[in-house]
């Protein structure tokens, strides 16, 4: 096979692979709400009033990590903020990370990855159950670039567990995040109105008593890895 024929074959194979992925892609309409005041502390009640439905984070992608806590989320926007609310019930609740840009994924952690259709460039927004956050950008899991602390400080957060370390607990917890458009400054976004994007939602806990790695959109990879934009679902902002 000539080099030119091989390159054409390779491109065709890639198109077929991505078409298969797209056929397995979840899609979610992110509703615009008018009455939300942009405060994380009252977000759950606001989304109740707006009747924003919950979505499940329930995909067990790796058989060696079968534990599946009860995890759901709901998401909306008010043009200038993404409004995100998680509810979790699990057997081991732990949060030892006490600062932003720490190892929150080792705790009881929920995550939101989003790309505004910029090839593979995406944002990861990860939070433990007491609202400590990691936000970074890049095209894969390596060499992530953290956003400035001033930007992270602009994300309003509320947790039913408060903001102090917890461990040796079990049961339910809830987390709300209000993520301003400024977080996505590299993408030059002024409003979320009418945007189309790709993303995924996750639940993990690398150093809990039982490690687990759940996703909203399925991931077809041999090893646990959330940093795979080709497995993001479709997100459409109202």
Lowest mean pLDDT among 64-73, 112-121, 199-208, 216-225: 112-121
Which among 205, 52, 191, 12 has a CA at the least distance from the CA of 126? 205
Indicate the average pLDDT of the chain.
90
Tokens of 70: 């009860």
Q: What pLDDT shows up at residue 194?
A: 97
How far apart are the two ends of the chain, measured CA to CA in Å? 48
Tokens of 205: 């806990």
Top pLDDT among 16 and 67 is at 67
35, pLDDT greater than 80? no
For residues 149, 88, 178, 99, the Cα torsion angle rounded to the nearest 10 degrees is -20
Dump pLDDT digits (tens) for 154-187: 999 999 999 999 999 999 999 999 999 999 999 9
For residue 95, the tally of other CB atoms under 10 A from its CB is 27
Domains of the chain: 27-237 (2.60.40.1190)
118, pLDDT greater than 90? no
pLDDT confidence band for 36 (50 / 70 / 90): low
9, pLDDT greater than 50? no
Q: What pLDDT shows up at residue 1?
A: 43
Which among 42, 99, 92 has a CA at the least distance from the CA of 203? 92
Q: What pLDDT shows up at residue 21?
A: 41
């Amino acid at each position: 096979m000539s080099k030119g024929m091989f390159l054409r074959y390779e491109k065709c194979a890639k198109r077929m692979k991505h078409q298969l992925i797209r056929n397995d892609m979840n899609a979610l309409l992110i509703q615009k709400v008018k009455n939300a005041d942009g405060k994380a502390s009252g977000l759950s009640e606001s989304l109740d009033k707006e009747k924003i439905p919950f979505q499940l984070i329930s995909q067990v992608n790796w058989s060696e990590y079968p534990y599946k806590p009860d995890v759901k989320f709901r998401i909306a926007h008010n043009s200038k903020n993404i409004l995100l609310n998680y509810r979790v019930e699990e057997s081991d609740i732990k949060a030892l990370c006490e600062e932003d840009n720490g190892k929150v994924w080792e705790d009881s952690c929920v995550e939101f990855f989003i790309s505004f259709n910029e090839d593979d460039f995406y944002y990861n927004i990860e939070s433990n159950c007491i609202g400590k956050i990691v936000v970074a950008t890049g095209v894969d899991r390596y060499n992530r670039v953290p956003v400035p602390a001033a930007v992270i400080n602009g994300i309003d957060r509320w947790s039913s567990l408060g903001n102090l370390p917890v461990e040796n607990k079990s049961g339910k917890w809830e987390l709300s995040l209000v993520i301003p458009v400024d977080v996505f400054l590299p993408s030059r976004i002024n409003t979320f109105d009418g945007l189309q994007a790709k993303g995924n939602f996750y639940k993990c806990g690398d150093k809990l008593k039982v490690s687990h790695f759940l996703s909203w959109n399925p991931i077809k990879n041999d090893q646990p890895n959330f940093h795979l934009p080709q497995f993001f679902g479709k997100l459409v902002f109202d």
